[in-house]
């Protein structure tokens, strides 16, 4: 029987496929007790399952490549660390020995104890590790059930739409390679890492579809319209006719786009908007160039430091930065200095000691200034790269004027050192500030006097302003970029930058989502930085907008009391 469901758009697109329903893992434990003689074999069985899970994670890591591997490495490594955590593994073995439990029963008991501890934590970043624990337990339990056998590699996802509660990013990567057509999640968030990855794949995904797991069955035909956050189960002839018509229109649009050269992005009334690309490697820069990006608005450098035993040398960093600059020709490249800490952990020589609240701990510019030798090495590499094209340097997580002064002082010292050694570099390398914490918003006028440009990091700024972790499904409804408080916060920064004549751009998920483009234009933004895959969509949206009329509505946007009022203003 036909039924229609509504959720929230996580990644746009249109798809038709068969449902593959995956329920949250319920551990079917072996409830009877074992005798003393069986204890050694049961502990070996558990240890064998741990080893199998480690090998699966290693195999997954090796199959990923390029930018995708860097996006997922911290997640895979977090899971691997749990497998080696004595609080987890030794606890299971102790339960087997002390209470004569089967490995499955001991695993569930230990999982429940640790999960309760995570649930009691107030900090959302640490509490979110509960999800990592559950994903690891599910893998180990599956290995126990298989008895050490290899998982079935023949399973394919061709033509299927996954219906689940939530999905780890690494699993989405695997299923994308296997031909998955889309994702329907009963929980999750449009701002989760999985949703971000789905958008980079252009994989249709809808989240927050309550009750879907109870009503949708394996093999049901699903018509997924992720652009509108909706899906139809068992579509009728009218639905399918409409779907084919929409498909043809999408194909015509894609053919038109492929014939067009990437031109200047303009609003309908002819106002030029500059669209920049976020990047972290050569592959993404190639995508940016093809999409017609005006520059690299944000080049993430922390991936050079992850998953390695030794810190990257100045020469290694220089070559990466130089190649990025050369690839963009005469277009600027904004290099963000090391942004580690909180949800970005690296291990190895840059491991940060455990913090009770890492989201508010040693991260971004704080880490760089504490490790000045490391910071100076990175700055010298960036300055050397400036000899090959236009380079700008961007400081992350700034919260005080003193941090910018200290960074500029070190930058000038590095410049003097390179000049003394007659090393080529540009005479002018602008130094910018990321506005992504409320403190920076409140002192943006002072920061504008000492910074050469601003870049708003909308993801972090939104979660700090709204006190809601975008990766935590329990508070997903509270992380809303259309919250009036967040809109007013953005305007404070835009207005302060414009008054000081300080160039400003915005990066983060809202920059590349056409849903927010009218709002950002109304607030006065003219520079957007996004994943290269989003540039065409935002460019197309801009062509439908009248900037003058949107700017005239700016006060109404700022006085809107709730999300519904903001949405109505954007639609009119």
Phi first, then psi: give them for residue 341, nearest 5 degrees: 115, 170
Phi first, then psi: give them for residue 530, nearest 5 degrees: -155, 175
Q: Of the residues 79, 102, 181, 193, which is catalytic?
A: 193
Residue tagged 């972290």 (tokens): 280
Other CB atoms within 10 Å distance of the CB of residue 374? 17
Strand, coil or helix: 120: coil
Give the Cα-Cα-Cα angle 174, 63, 77 (nearest 5 degrees): 85
What does the alpha-carbon distance between residue 502 and residue 494 come to, in Å, rounded to a whole number?
9
Residue tagged 């080893």 (tokens): 51
Please give the structure tokens belonging to residue 211.
């009750």
What does the alpha-carbon distance between residue 365 and residue 428 come to, in Å, rounded to a whole number?
21
Strand, coil or helix: 133: helix
Q: Of the residues 207, 444, 507, 531, which is catalytic?
A: 507
Please give the structure tokens belonging to residue 402.
């003193």
Q: Is position 567 annotated as part of the catalytic site?
A: no
Paired with 231 in beta bridges are 5, 224
User: Is the distance from CB of 367 to CB of 338 less than 8 angstroms?
Assistant: yes
What does the alpha-carbon distance between residue 277 and residue 295 come to, in Å, rounded to a whole number?
6
Q: Is position 193 annotated as part of the catalytic site?
A: yes
Question: Each residue of 295-334: b (16+ CB within 10 Å) or e?
Answer: bbbbbbbbbbbbeeeebbebeebbebbbebbebbeebbbb
What does the alpha-carbon distance between residue 457 and residue 440 come to, in Å, rounded to a whole number?
11
What does the alpha-carbon distance between residue 558 and residue 230 come to, in Å, rounded to a whole number?
30
Rg (CA), the chain: 25
Please give the structure tokens belonging to residue 286.
């190639």
Other CB atoms within 10 Å distance of the CB of residue 376? 17
CA quadruple 51, 57, 60, 61: dihedral sign: negative
Other CB atoms within 10 Å distance of the CB of residue 84? 10
Other CB atoms within 10 Å distance of the CB of residue 2? 12
- Active site (catalytic) residues: 193, 507
């Amino acid at each position: 029987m036909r039924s229609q469901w509504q959720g929230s758009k996580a990644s746009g697109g249109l798809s038709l496929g068969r449902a593959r329903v995956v329920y949250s893992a319920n551990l079917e434990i072996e409830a009877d007790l074992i005798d003393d003689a069986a204890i050694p074999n049961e502990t070996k069985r558990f240890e064998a399952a741990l080893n199998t899970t480690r090998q699966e994670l290693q195999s997954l890591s090796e199959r990923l490549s390029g930018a995708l591997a860097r996006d997922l490495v911290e997640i895979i490594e977090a899971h691997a660390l749990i497998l080696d955590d004595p609080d987890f593994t030794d606890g299971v073995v102790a339960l087997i020995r002390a209470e004569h439990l089967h490995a499955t029963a001991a695993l569930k008991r230990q999982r429940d104890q640790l999960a309760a501890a995570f649930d009691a934590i107030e900090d959302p970043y640490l509490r979110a590790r509960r999800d990592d624990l559950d994903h690891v337990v599910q893998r180990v339990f599956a290995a126990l059930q298989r008895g050490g056998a290899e998982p079935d590699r023949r399973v394919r996802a061709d033509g299927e739409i996954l219906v689940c509660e939530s999905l780890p990013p690494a699993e989405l990567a695997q299923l994308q390679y296997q031909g998955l057509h889309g994702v329907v999640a009963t929980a999750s968030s449009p701002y989760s890492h999985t949703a971000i990855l789905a958008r980079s794949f252009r994989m249709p995904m809808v989240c927050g579809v309550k009750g879907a797991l109870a009503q949708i069955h394996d093999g049901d035909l699903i018509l997924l319209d992720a652009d509108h956050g909706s899906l139809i189960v068992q579509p009728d002839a009218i639905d399918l006719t409409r779907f084919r018509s929409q498909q043809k229109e999408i194909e015509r649009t894609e053919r038109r786009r492929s014939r067009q050269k990437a031109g200047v992005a303009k609003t309908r009334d002819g106002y030029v908007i500059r669209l920049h690309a976020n990047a972290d490697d050569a592959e993404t820069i190639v995508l940016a160039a093809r999409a017609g990006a005006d520059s690299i608005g944000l080049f993430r450098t922390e991936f050079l430091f992850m998953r390695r035993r030794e810190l990257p040398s100045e020469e290694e960093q220089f070559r990466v930065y130089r190649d990025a600059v050369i690839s963009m020709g005469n277009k600027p490249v904004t290099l963000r200095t090391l942004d580690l800490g909180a949800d970005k952990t690296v291990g190895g020589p840059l491991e940060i000691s455990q913090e009770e609240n890492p989201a508010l701990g040693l991260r971004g510019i704080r880490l760089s200034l504490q490790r000045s030798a490391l910071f100076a090495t990175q700055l010298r590499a960036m300055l050397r790269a400036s000899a090959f094209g236009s380079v700008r340097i961007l400081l992350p997580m700034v919260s005080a004027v003193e941090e910018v002064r200290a960074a500029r002082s070190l930058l000038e010292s590095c410049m003097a050192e390179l000049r003394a050694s007659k090393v080529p570099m540009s005479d002018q390398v602008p130094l910018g500030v990321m506005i992504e914490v409320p403190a920076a918003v409140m002192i943006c006028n002072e920061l504008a006097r000492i910074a050469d440009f601003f870049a708003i990091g909308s993801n972090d700024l939104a979660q700090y302003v709204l006190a809601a972790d975008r990766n935590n499904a329990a508070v997903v409804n509270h992380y809303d970029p259309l919250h009036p408080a967040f809109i007013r916060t953005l305007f404070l920064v835009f207005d302060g930058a414009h008054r000081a004549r300080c160039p400003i751009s915005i990066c983060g998920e809202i920059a590349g989502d056409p849903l927010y483009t009218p709002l950002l234009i109304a607030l006065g933004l003219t520079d957007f930085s996004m994943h290269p895959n989003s540039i065409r969509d935002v460019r197309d949206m801009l062509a439908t907008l009248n900037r003058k009329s949107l700017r005239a509505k700016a006060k109404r946007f700022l006085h809107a009391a709730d999300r519904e009022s903001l949405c109505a203003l954007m639609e009119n």
